[in-house]
Chain A
């Protein structure tokens, strides 16, 4: 497939806002450009597909109102999409609390240490309370920090205990963020006016489709050097292969600040052990990242029509117990059910 074809096909991939012309056959040769959609690529979507194709289907097609309309599990999937596992949720809360810490510091009204910790804990307590009420009462909420339903309450007999352990780890990580000497410079940078916090981007030059991402902290100094920070909730031995994710951040920074890769410093801040690790960037790494995204375009385009048609069997379940046990859709997935105890 040529780059042009890949780009064209990519126009109909990646999940979109709302309006999609649904195809009626599983593998029709519909020219990609005939389906007009807004495009988005993101590392998280790529990761879901890499982790489990069936989960990818449930999340981006089965649970999407406008796609796979004939899926018999539609209602259930839409409900399950609103649930989240304890690790993802505590990670979200960590990011949320840290972002607010910096925003308040930049406004000159910094958080008190204990208040910040209490706030993080309170958000999770609300999640626990909501989860205890059962999934059937869950509805989509438009509040600023709506409580989430924790998927463990559907899967584990000792869900509350497991979630509380996760909450303890989260608070430890938050304390590490506040206290670790290695993060002192980052805390100072984040408190400076002009430093961008949770900077979201939707497009990158050179891609005919949207490329979406969110950088946790971005600081551009007067001499033109750019510092990016990505918070990691684990330690520096437990992370996966995130080089593509970080390279995409660097691609955005190079475009946003009109600088070369050499002017960008990217740090991974591990809240598990309080270490700050520089991620080595190079022009060739960025080139590889670009190519990988284009390759993804081919790949996603291939699966898109199956997804829109609701051809669920084209998405193989990963059947890996470690993945299934944290998956929101495990109670619907035939392989996921095998991994669960009732």
Chain B
């Protein structure tokens, strides 16, 4: 029996919400503005609304009462919202309901979460943070975050899911990091730490959390102008109101912050605003990315399934009694009676085996009892495939579907690889690796140990001897010159220093080389953990894991295939597309796994492209289409390879 983290809203599949259509009129009327109108209706009038998909300039408002005309100023534009007189019953039976009901419900739920006041949010109403950190180490607070969403499930109703995530923030504000009143060595130390945590040296801007006491917002640091204070800045205009200086704004809008005119200023960019804005540096904290966490917090985001379940139950308990009077059942709406929806009998919903004992009874008037457990007809297990190694060896799937059997399977897989059973390694591939590393004694030792171990592992996997050659460098430019002089090798492991463009420079400067990049920061951290961890076994385990993954990556860079599977489902090939975090690049990864008599029968390939429209998450359809065709054209060569008969594309 599978248990999900979803709760189904009463009355299940017959859920219905009466809505009225409202018209938005104004000089400016864009989808962004209509979204803001929905926000204002919820905040100021308690009305839950979503923009209509097919009717421009209209909103769907979850109410069965007539909507009085309202005037509001949104982004300095006058807007009027009026009732069109049209009322509808939104159910999961219609296409519009299937699309918009979950959105409406999600807004109702997040509204209830906001009203409850136990959590705070920054850039999305889907993510709610605990007020206090559950752990704080090395100047970093770790906070639990709850991700909330609603989705329709055919034949069941609307599910509301809650998942637990973890976020990390510095305890220092940006003002603390740039405090000029502390000693010079302390100033240097703080600023170095700031650079490290924001990765500004490496070209990142640094993600910050801006909290003015009223709201929290995500933003990115542009700069901290030396000597600029809140009292010195030029007149500002915020939400249609003018202020003579930044401190004037804070005194009028957020007096509880008790900011002073001589408090320092930082310039930040907010998503959706064209120009950077000055804010009080004291209101900014650094969002620390997981890769930059100190060893003491590395495992803080790992949550065991049982613990995760308990946390979700605790979340629902804290939310207490959530009531959604707008929700009805189809029958009630049809009969015209206004009564609360009845809970269906347990027989009418899928799976009567409920687990409601742990969930708060208060919330069960709005939700069916317990978490949703889909019945057997809805549950699919993706079976482990048989893995084929070199020398005709194979690893069968785990005999049982349990944790122990899975663990044994993965251990066995690693053992088989280490016994030289790599499925394929190109016979003509060079066996000399060049390692370029920043000229530093500590990095030198770590690099040598890493390369020594990598060569041993590569030899174990492929059965061929590998050797390495070390090149120290002062700058990445210097490294490229040295590496290009190595005539006998064409595989390089570059330990990248913190030069901002090191990654790109290596790519442009070593066009004919196969490059495996390892950042100096990561290498130092792993090596330090190996050498200084009080529990030596933990440090060794972490170092081994780092090297194992690096070896597999290197093997793939060198066109090696550690093992293969016969087929990956019904399709001959799978193509997976993903967009980078900053939306400036995207990648395609292709897996071909088909009958051995078909050439090419097994391949794994990845490629990345510059994405021309970084303001959008979506990839331009025309460009994506052409890139897929071009990418596949390079892999499946007409006349040489058999065409693919089926392809699954996932985005």
Contact = CB atoms under 8 A, between A and B. Distances in A.
Interface of A: 1-6, 26-27, 29, 49-50, 53, 235-241, 272-273, 284, 287-288, 291-292, 294-295, 298-299, 302-303, 306, 311, 313-316, 318-323, 338-339, 341
6 nearest CB pairs, A to B: A2-B511, A316-B613, A27-B626, A314-B622, A288-B501, A237-B278
Interface string B583-610: 0000000000000000000000000011
B628 to A, nearest CB: 11
B344 interface: no
A302 B477 contact: no
Given A291-B505, A291-B508, A295-B504, A240 B275 contact: yes
Contacts of A319: 615-616
Contact of A238 (B276, B501, B618): B276
Interface of B: 27-33, 203, 222, 225, 233-234, 267, 274-278, 477, 499-501, 504-505, 508-509, 511-512, 609-610, 612-616, 618, 620-623, 626, 629-630
A31 B173 CA distance: 53
Contacts of B234: 235, 237, 272-273
B511 A4 contact: yes
A316 B620 contact: yes
A313 B622 CA distance: 7
Contact of B615 (A294, A303, A318): A318
B610 A299 contact: yes
A246 B233 CA distance: 24
A316 B616 contact: yes
A237 B28 CA distance: 27
A186 to B, nearest CB: 20
A2 B27 contact: no
A180 B29 CA distance: 41
Nearest to B613: A316
A321 B28 contact: yes
A293 B509 CA distance: 14
26 contacts: A1-B511, A3-B511, A5-B511, A49-B612, A50-B614, A53-B612, A237-B267, A237-B275, A237-B277, A237-B278, A239-B276, A240-B274, A240-B275, A240-B276, A273-B234, A284-B499, A291-B505, A292-B501, A294-B508, A302-B609, A302-B610, A316-B616, A320-B615, A321-B30, A323-B274, A341-B27
Nearest to A338: B30
B500 A284 contact: yes
Given A2-B511, A302-B609, 14 more contacts: A1-B511, A27-B626, A53-B620, A237-B277, A239-B276, A291-B501, A302-B612, A313-B621, A316-B612, A316-B616, A318-B615, A321-B28, A321-B33, A338-B31
Contacts of B614: 50
A311 B512 contact: no
Q: Which of B504, B508, B629 neighbours the largest number of chain A CB atoms within 10 Å of its CB?
A: B508
B610 A2 contact: no
Q: Which of A314, A320, A323 neighbours the largest number of chain B CB atoms within 10 Å of its CB?
A: A314
Contacts of B267: 237
A6 B274 contact: no
A49 B611 CA distance: 12
Contacts of A27: 626, 629-630
Contacts of B508: 2-3, 6, 291, 294-295
B511 to A, nearest CB: 3
A294 to B, nearest CB: 6
Nearest to A1: B511
A300 B405 CA distance: 52
A338 B508 CA distance: 41
B620 A314 contact: yes
B638 to A, nearest CB: 14
Q: Which of B616, B626, B630 neighbours the largest number of chain A CB atoms within 10 Å of its CB?
A: B626
Contacts of A322: 274
Contact of B613 (A1, A239, A292, A318): A318
B27 A26 contact: no
Contacts of B501: 287-288, 291-292
A314 B500 contact: no
A53 B615 CA distance: 10
Contacts of A50: 614
Contact of B512 (A2, A240, A299, A323): A2
A298 B504 CA distance: 12
A166 to B, nearest CB: 16
Contacts of A288: 203, 500-501
Contact of B623 (A240, A295, A314): A314
A254 B504 CA distance: 23
Contacts of A306: 622-623
A322 B33 CA distance: 12
Nearest to B27: A341
A287 B477 contact: yes
A298 B509 CA distance: 14
Given A303-B612, A315-B612, A26 B626 contact: yes
B176 to A, nearest CB: 22
Nearest to A318: B615
A165 B277 CA distance: 23
Contacts of A321: 28, 30, 32-33
Contacts of A29: 630
A100 B277 CA distance: 33
Contact of B28 (A53, A323, A341): A341
A299 B621 contact: no
B360 to A, nearest CB: 43
Nearest to B511: A2
B612 A238 contact: no
Contacts of A338: 30-31
B206 to A, nearest CB: 14
A323 B508 CA distance: 33
Contacts of A240: 274-276
Contacts of B609: 302
A92 B222 CA distance: 26
B338 to A, nearest CB: 39
A311 B29 CA distance: 29
B44 to A, nearest CB: 23
Q: Which of B500, B612, B629 neighbours the largest number of chain A CB atoms within 10 Å of its CB?
A: B612
Contact of A291 (B504, B612, B623): B504
Contacts of B500: 284, 288
B32 A238 contact: no
A236 B30 contact: no
B499 A237 contact: no
Contacts of B626: 26-27, 314
Given A284-B499, A295-B504, A299-B612, A236 B222 contact: no
B149 to A, nearest CB: 24
Contacts of B28: 321, 339, 341
Contacts of B613: 53, 316, 318
Contacts of B618: 316
A313 B621 CA distance: 8
A235 B509 CA distance: 39
Nearest to B614: A50
Contact of A3 (B509, B620, B621): B509
B583 to A, nearest CB: 11
Contacts of B203: 288
A50 B582 CA distance: 13
A228 to B, nearest CB: 20
B315 to A, nearest CB: 36
Q: Which of A3, A5, A49, A237 neighbours the largest number of chain B CB atoms within 10 Å of its CB?
A: A237
A239 B30 CA distance: 26
A339 B610 contact: no
B622 to A, nearest CB: 4
A11 to B, nearest CB: 17
A318 to B, nearest CB: 5
Contacts of B512: 2
Contacts of A311: 622
Contacts of B31: 338
Contacts of B276: 237-240
A112 to B, nearest CB: 29
A138 to B, nearest CB: 26
